[in-house]
């Protein structure tokens, strides 16, 4: 009897031990799951990025940003949900190591130091570190001119690495580092004369030049670098997925479309035009803002878009008269004004309400087009006339291109200046470059107004 009791106790102990061992093995196996297994099992991928104008931000309750759009396209490619986390700059790699995120998409350049901490994807964008000064600062023209000067950069960036490298090579640059201050803020500080010099990657500098027209993008601080996404060291399967994704979107045009959305129009204005625009946002826009918002709400447009159209048309001048005979703040023709029920084109409220109504009518006519392309094509029609836009669409179709893509029409509209093409169209010759410039300008004005809403 005593022997049987001892055996039962032993078996009971073995059962407990077996159970504990099973739990431990299960825990270890879960802990050993790689990122791709976690993504597959959860149906979700977590991106680590930065909350700024070129990575990720919220505008009118919608997420936007170059890196966000790429990450969203990646999640769709994988058929999983996307979750966004925005740690500090220094926290990006730390959170990656702690598996709080699956990959970094934060306009991070590949450096030898970072390669020791993360696996980088194939590069997706070439950039170069540029020195940022205020316009008319002619005392700093080359790297040697940084001797003895103070350069402000965010701590932990490749900019700081490069400046330290120059000091090790024998220079004496005073490096003032800032904790987690976005590069955009340092650029703004240069504009406002709070600091003299900062450094920014060329893509960030070009994007911000439209917001800060008094800055100067000066000389390069080093050779060309590349931006890439990062994954935790050892996560080879996820890295492989990322590289296949970039290869695909560069081949099918998705990457170019996203790039075009954020960076295509940075160079179309001179700084004087931008300064005038920003000045008139303060001096002229307030007078008409109420009417603009009323019209925008009635016809379901963003009021900032309508303000951008009005500035492009008349610079917020209700007495504007063009050489072609169009009048008023929305520059309406006599026929369009009559069609929209406007008796006085120079009356700001009539003109704005009628102009926005007309834009809505054009927008509705292109009902078969989805996404932003529909708006851009409607804007081009407002500028040059719907007939010419239809001609450009037919021309695109005849060339085997997508007639509902604004990117395609940017190339076919200018062809309508050429007899080879316009003689075959219904509406004939038009200055097809004009609507392309028109839409570009409105998009940039609109972008500046949106930026003011998030700053």
Question: Is residue 232 exposed (0-12), middle (13-18) or buried (19+ Cβ within 10 Å)?
Answer: buried
Which of 37, 313, 339, 386 is an active site residue?
313
| Cα distance between the two ends of the chain | 82
- How many helices (H) and strands (E) are present in the chain, helices listed first? 20, 13
Beta bridge partners of 104: 48, 230
Nearest CA among 154, 190, 151 for reference residue 167 = 151
Q: Would you give the DSSP letter of residue 321?
A: B
3-state DSSP call for residue 62? strand
Q: Would you give the DSSP letter of residue 145?
A: G
Distance (Å, rounded) from C-alpha 338 to C-alpha 18? 88
On whether the CB atoms of residues 409 and 366 are closer than 8 A, the answer is: no
3-state DSSP call for residue 352? helix
Distance (Å, rounded) from C-alpha 219 to C-alpha 200? 11
Read off the tokens for 411. 């190339």
Torsion of CA 259, 66, 63, 372, to 10 degrees: -10
Pairing of strands 62-64, 129-134: unpaired
> Where do the DSSP E strands lie in 17-149?
44-48, 57-59, 62-64, 81-85, 103-109, 118-120, 125-127, 129-134
349 part of the active site: no
On whether the CB atoms of residues 421 and 395 are closer than 8 A, the answer is: yes
Distance (Å, rounded) from C-alpha 283 to C-alpha 281? 6
Neighbours of 76 (CB within 10 A): 13
Nearest CA among 387, 393, 385, 395 for reference residue 418 = 395
Catalytic residues: 313
């Amino acid at each position: 009897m005593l022997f049987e009791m001892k055996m039962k106790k032993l078996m009971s102990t073995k059962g407990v031990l077996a159970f504990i061992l099973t739990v431990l093995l299960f825990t270890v196996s879960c802990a050993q799951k790689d990122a791709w297994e976690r993504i597959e099992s959860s149906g979700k991928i977590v991106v680590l990025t930065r909350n700024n104008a070129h990575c990720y931000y919220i505008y009118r309750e919608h997420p936007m940003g170059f890196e966000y759009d790429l990450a969203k396209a990646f999640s769709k490619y994988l058929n999983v949900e996307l979750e966004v986390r925005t740690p500090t700059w220094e926290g990006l790699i730390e959170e990656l190591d702690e598996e709080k995120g699956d990959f970094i998409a934060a306009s991070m350049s590949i450096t030898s130091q970072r390669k020791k901490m993360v696996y980088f994807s194939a590069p997706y964008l070439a950039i170069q570190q540029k020195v940022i000064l205020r316009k008319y600062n002619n005392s700093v023209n080359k790297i040697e001119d940084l001797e003895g000067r103070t350069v402000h950069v965010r701590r932990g960036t490749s900019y700081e690495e490069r400046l330290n490298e120059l000091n090790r090579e024998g220079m004496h640059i005073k490096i003032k580092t800032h904790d987690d201050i976005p590069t955009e803020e340092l650029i703004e500080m240069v504009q406002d004369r709070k600091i003299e010099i900062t450094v920014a990657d060329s893509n960030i500098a070009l994007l911000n030049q439209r917001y800060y027209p008094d800055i100067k993008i000066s000389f390069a601080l080093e050779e060309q670098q590349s931006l890439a996404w990062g994954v935790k060291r050892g996560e080879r399967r996820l890295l492989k997925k990322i590289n296949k994704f970039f290869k695909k979107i560069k081949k099918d045009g998705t990457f170019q479309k996203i790039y075009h959305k954020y960076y295509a129009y940075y160079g179309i204005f001179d700084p004087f035009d931008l300064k005038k625009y920003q000045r008139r946002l303060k001096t002229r826009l307030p007078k008409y803002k109420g009417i603009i918002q009323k019209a925008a709400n009635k016809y379901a447009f963003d009021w900032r878009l309508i303000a951008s159209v009005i500035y492009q048309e008349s610079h917020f001048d209700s007495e504007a008269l063009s050489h072609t005979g169009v009048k008023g703040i929305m520059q309406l023709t006599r026929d369009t004004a009559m069609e929209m029920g406007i008796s006085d084109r120079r009356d700001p409220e009539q003109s704005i309400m009628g102009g926005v109504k007309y834009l809505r009518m054009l927008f509705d006519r292109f009902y078969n087009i989805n996404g932003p392309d529909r708006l851009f094509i409607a804007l081009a029609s407002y500028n040059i006339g719907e007939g010419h836009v239809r001609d450009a669409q037919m021309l695109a179709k005849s060339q085997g291109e997508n007639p509902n893509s604004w990117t395609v029409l940017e190339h076919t509209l200018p062809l309508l200046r050429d007899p080879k093409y316009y003689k075959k169209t219904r509406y004939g010759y038009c200055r097809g470059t004009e609507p392309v410039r028109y839409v570009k300008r409105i998009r940039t004005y609109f972008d500046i107004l949106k930026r003011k809403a998030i700053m």
